[in-house]
Amino acid sequence: MQILGVRSMSLLILLKKGLPLGSRLGLSIMSVAATAAAINKMFGGVLSKSKLVLAGLESEARISGTGNNGWVCFDS
């Protein structure tokens, strides 16, 4: 949200993945990618794919302690 210039906003985001937790299939970065893409769309799609990747990797690092291979989720 900071990258979009939004200082404060409340959002409720529900993700239905259908994959088991702890499966080591990259669920957290997929969640980050989907959330970043949705928020970007809410704000008019102003962020480029590269900016979304950087924001996603930073968020993933905060959530799980790693930002490895996050770009794959944004490459579509």
Helix axes 49-64, 27-42, angle to 10 degrees: 130
pLDDT of 9 reads 75
pLDDT of 70 reads 53
Which residue from 37, 35, 29 is spatially nearest to 15, judged by alpha carbons? 35
pLDDT of 57 reads 81
Spatial contact of 9 and 1, defined as CB atoms under 8 Å apart: yes
Low-confidence ranges of the chain (pLDDT < 50): 76
| Threshold 0.75, pTM exceeds | no
